[in-house]
Amino acid sequence: MPRPPDLPSPVCDPERLAALDGYAVLDTLPERGFDDVVRLASRLCDAPVALVSLVAGDRQWFKARTGFPWPQTDLDSSVCAHALAQPDSLLVIPDLSRDPRTRANPLVTAEPGIRFYAGAPLRTPEGQVLGTLCVIDYVSRPDGLSETEAGDLRALARQLMTQLALRRVAADRETALRAARATEERYRLAARATNDAIWDWDFSADQVLWNEALEAAYGHAPEAGSTTGAWWIDHIHPDDRARIDASIHAVIDGGGTAWSDEYRFRRADGSYARVLDRGSVIRDEAGRAVRMIGAMFDLSERERAEAARRDSARRLDLERSLLESVFRQAPVGISVVGHEPGGPNLINAKGEEILGHGLVARALARYERFGAVHADGRPYAPDDYPSLRALRDGTVVSGEAMLYRNAATGLRRLEVSSAPVRDEDGAIRAAVTVFLDVTEQRRAEAQLRRLALVAEQSSDFIAIADAEGRIAYVNPAGRALVGLADEAAARAMRLTDFFPAEDLPFAEATILPAIRDGGAYGGSWSGGSWSGDFRLRNLATGAAVPVRYNLFALRGPGGAFEGFAAVGHDISARKAAEAQQEILNRELSHRLKNTLAMVQAIAMQTLRNAADPMAAREALAARLIALGKAHDLLLTGEGESASLRAVLEGALAIHDDGRPGRFRLAGPPVPCGSRAALSLALMAHELATNAVKYGALRVPEGHVTLDWRIDGPDAPVLALRWQEHGGPRVVPPARRGFGSRLIERGLAGTVDGEVAMHYPPEGAVCTLTAPLAELQRGE
């Protein structure tokens, strides 16, 4: 049958039209159940018109309607026909006057001037769409239906299909009953060939004859008193007995010939069987009932089968609902594609989210648009996608890596699995594909790997423990710090095992509870973390290792405490440097005090013996310079000693006028302690000062020899001699000044030495002897 122009092809599909005819509903009288549905749909969707529209090959007929004047229209006026093209979803047209499919529809251009349409397909279990449950408004609705309204409309459409199915079942049953009555007489004489209990009741003798089925089906032997009508009536269930007795006598006494009823008949074991009993009255020429022949049909098996069918239908509905719920709500993408045209073509919401689109086309054309890439960078050929391989070859694909570009979220990493669905003959009918977006998972795994590398390669102590303090991880540097051989040894420990015994009470009573509770204690405490100098115990050596220790809480997404994390840096070198610095600070303080005391003594003696302030200033400056040079020598060495030659050369340098050979030094290398170096420097300075003022250095041709040696192998003694040559004739001084006293007493008090001054005419001589050990001793 040709279809009107501009209507979808399913309108005249022979299979669809056959399915519609199979429901035998066209042109039937109104039925309350269908009328109730359209009224409910009109109220739920707030629409003035609601219809149960069935699209035939030449018209659309309304099984139920509210707010619409006509019982049917031709197909040129049908909007519902367009819903046949999308059997899986609602057809919603916000403005019929603007949609190219409906703007020329007579119901839109003329009376009644409808503007809005929403129709839910009435789809059979086999997938054929018979029509729609639709709502219509006379004004356009730009927003269409709300999600709730759309859901209600779909639910009512499903209820309509259930009513149609029940209606067909009832019609089939009535047809079957009519056929049974029609063939009753034909089977009357086939008593021995049936399992029905065939009976023949002679009214005049009140005798009932039964066939063998009475015993086979119900356990009663025909000769055991079962030959009267009273016995028969007595075996009917008490609740049914009066009704059946009345109904059968109504036929017998009323002039009818056919009787049929259902009741419960007692078996020999006392149980009851539900039976359908049918009989025909035979009358004489006067019309009196003389006998009745019938058959009792056990309905138990039929009822059991019907109950099983209903139970199976309920289970099937439940399973279908569960599957639909899983499909819609699954946290992974799921698509179902059919092998044949018209087969399933579905994708769930999560799948659309992952791909960024739905199944926009059917068959191969869809896959030509996808543009996915293998994990190694090879583009997918259209026929190489897992779904098509499952459909074509029956291939089962599990966890195949795929790169897919989502227009909104960019390149995504997917894991795709696909498997064929076969019918009872083994033929492939569809493919189910599951795809999981693992982009964030792979990114997180990469971050974890990088963090693991940081921890493994760090030179700091890094450890993780669970909420009970049991060690889960210690990095290699950390294991070396606390003396653990490997990871297994680390996992056998607790966090507190790394603390020295003397530090453990503080850690257990203060640090660890605060970390668990997330308290803040000020200073180095803050919100469940602690940072400060602490000590860790090396389990191999027992040594306590100083560390800069950071301990903080690990918390889950909800803030629940899950464990501890610790980071420690070995500060042994820093602590050693701090200890050395403390020693140096004390040494500096000691030396500074000694130096100031010496300066004070030099200043007081110089000022006390000076003839005038200018001379005092010059003398004091020269002596302090000599003292400073001695300090310089000490500071350029190890800080505790200096070479004897260097000390003397430094002290005499300020008196060297540049003439060759003015100072002639000779002697073996001898180290001097700090105290002896300062005294020797001052002594040499005083001797040179006197030589410049009064002795050999006063004249150009004068010079000084300064030599030393070590005497005595058991208790070595330094012997030093100062001798002036080529100067003016020497006259012993009449008075001993500070310089002379400094020469004679300063060194003697410092190193337990002996100093002697001699004044022969040819030049002054100064000799020094001192124990070598004292000379070399430091502060």
DSSP string, 267-302: -TTS-EEEEEEEEEEEE-TTS-EEEEEEEEEE-HHH
The answer to whether residue 358 scores a pLDDT higher than 70 is yes
Domain of residue 275 covers: 191-298
Mean pLDDT computed over 289-294: 91
Domain termination site, one of 114, 145, 177: 177
CATH no. for residue 670?
3.30.565.10
The pLDDT score that the predictor gives to residue 528 is 74
Sequence-separated (6 or more) residues with CB below 8 Å from residue 76: 4, 105, 106
**What pLDDT is attached to residue 524?**
46
Shared domain check, 50 and 17: yes
The whole-number pLDDT of residue 212 equals 85
At 110 the pLDDT is 92
User: Is the pLDDT assigned to residue 361 strictly greater than 80?
Assistant: no
Distance of alpha carbon 465 from alpha carbon 495, whole angstroms? 7
The verdict on 550 and 620 lying in the same domain is no
- Cβ 391 vs Cβ 337: under 8 Å: yes
Q: Is residue 450 part of a domain?
A: no
pLDDT digit string (tens) for 411-438?
A: 889 899 999 999 888 888 888 999 898 8
Nearest-Å Rg of the Cα atoms of the chain is 60
Is 312 within the bounds of a domain? no
- In one letter, which amino acid is 705? T
Looking at the structure, do residues 481 and 524 belong to the same domain, yes or no? yes
Q: Are residues 227 and 344 in the same domain?
A: no
- Of the three residues 541, 566, 591, the one that is the final residue of a domain is 566
Chain centroid, CA 357 distance in Å = 25
What does the pLDDT average to over 213-235?
A: 81
Let me know: does 50 contact 41? Beta carbons within 8 Å.
Answer: yes
Mean pLDDT of the region 281-293: 90
Considering the domain architecture, whether residues 21 and 113 belong to the same structural domain is answered as: yes
In terms of domains, do 227 and 151 share one? no
Q: Give the CATH number, domain containing residue 503.
A: 3.30.450.20
In a domain? residue 40 = yes
Does residue 403 sit in the same domain as residue 473? no
Kindly state whether residues 602 and 643 are assigned to the same domain.
yes
Residue 75 has a pLDDT of: 92
pLDDT above 70: percentage of residues in the chain: 85
Q: Minimal CA–CA distance to 50: which of 142, 145, 134?
A: 134
Q: Are 564 and 551 in contact (CB under 8 A)?
A: yes
Q: Which has more confidence, 579 or 774?
A: 774
Based on the fold, state whether residues 16 and 160 are members of the same structural domain. Answer: yes
497 with 592, same domain: the answer is no
Domain count, the chain: 5
Average pLDDT, stretch 542-546? 89
Q: SS3 string of 411-465?
A: EEEEEEEEEEEECCCCCEEEEEEEEEECHHHHHHHHHHHHHHHHHHHCCCEEEEE
Does residue 320 lie within any of the structural domains?
A: no
Region 314-342 average pLDDT: 83
Mean pLDDT over each residue of the chain, to the nearest integer: 83
Residue 239 pLDDT level (bands cut at 50, 70, 90) = very high
Q: What's residue 1's pLDDT?
A: 41
Whether residue 341 sits in one domain with residue 237: no
Whether this prediction's pTM lies above 0.75 is answered by: no
Q: Residues 664-673: what's their mean pLDDT?
A: 91
Select from 455, 524, 521, 441 the least CA-distant residue to 487. Answer: 455
Domain contains 322:
no
For residue 683, pLDDT beyond 70: yes
Same domain, 545 and 512: yes
CB neighbourhood size of 597 (10 A): 10
Give the integer Cα–Cα distance in Å for 297 and 198.
Answer: 9
Residue found under tokens 């639909």: 324
Contacts of 767 (CB under 8 A, 6+ apart): 719, 720, 721, 722, 755, 756, 758
